[in-house]
Amino acid sequence: MRDGQAVARWIADAKRVTALTGAGISTDSGIPDFRGPNGVWTRNPGAQRLFTLRDYVSDPDVRREAWEIRRAHAAWTARPNAAHYALVDLEAHGRLRAVITQNIDGLHQLAGTSEDLVIEVHGSLYEVECLSCGSRFAMSDTLERVAAGDEDPACLRCGGILKAGTISFGQPLVPEVFAKARAAAADCDLFLAIGTSLSVQPVAGLVEVAKKQGAKVVILNADPTPYDGVADATLSEPIGSLLPRLVGGGSSRTASAG
């Protein structure tokens, strides 16, 4: 059994830390997760249609609802929390290799993590893309069109369907972006999986990439994940207080560890 003091020592001794972050790191900032007890899909399973490319493309009603949800997204008023700033501290000490994030909220960059260290494998809510010509626009500009009454705005260049510049179900990851993520997982001595259920592939598989290259793997998540057996330690305390304590060398207790 290893406790949080051991994990804090691993962090203190690490030269290259790669963090993989999921929705759980942003819940303290007021952004709900998806699969937790109060998650978006837990409360409303039908909402998954809004994040499924086939439904989005084929059904104008889905697109109209998606645009209204984007207008009301918590990211527009959210602010980074202590866990985001803990990763900024790691960078300040020269030990952060990369932050691979499944989040689309931009809070890592807002906290101060360098743009070139953040790898957004699921894209960004701050951009809009055309599914026909590939043009990209600022989300803020497109939301102004929605607010003015254009419920399903089309591409201003080709008339194609617009969606957020994020990865939907049924949409492949950008190969170059995932290649960067895989390289960061393979080139670290400590891999922190923070606030992610590790249930979405291929990103979840980065845990095994890091482990096979000899990195220690620590999972910080409220609920068990499919990779707990691979990890050197798993901790389940609230991330907003746990991660700053670990980075600062404080102590905590694991729910389980291996």
User: Which amino acids are annotated as binding site for Zn(2+), given as ranges?
Assistant: 130, 133, 155, 158
In angstroms, the CA 252 to CA 246 distance is 8
Q: CB count, 10 Å around CB of 74? A: 12
Point out the catalytic residue in the list 84, 93, 108, 122: 122
- Cβ neighbours for 40, distance < 8 A, ≥ 6 positions apart: 32, 33, 34, 47
In angstroms, the CA 249 to CA 10 distance is 10
Amino acid at 68: E
Contact indicator for 117, 96 with CB cutoff of 8 Å: yes
H or E segment at 19? strand 17-21
Known catalytic residue at 122: yes
Q: Which residues are catalytic?
A: 122
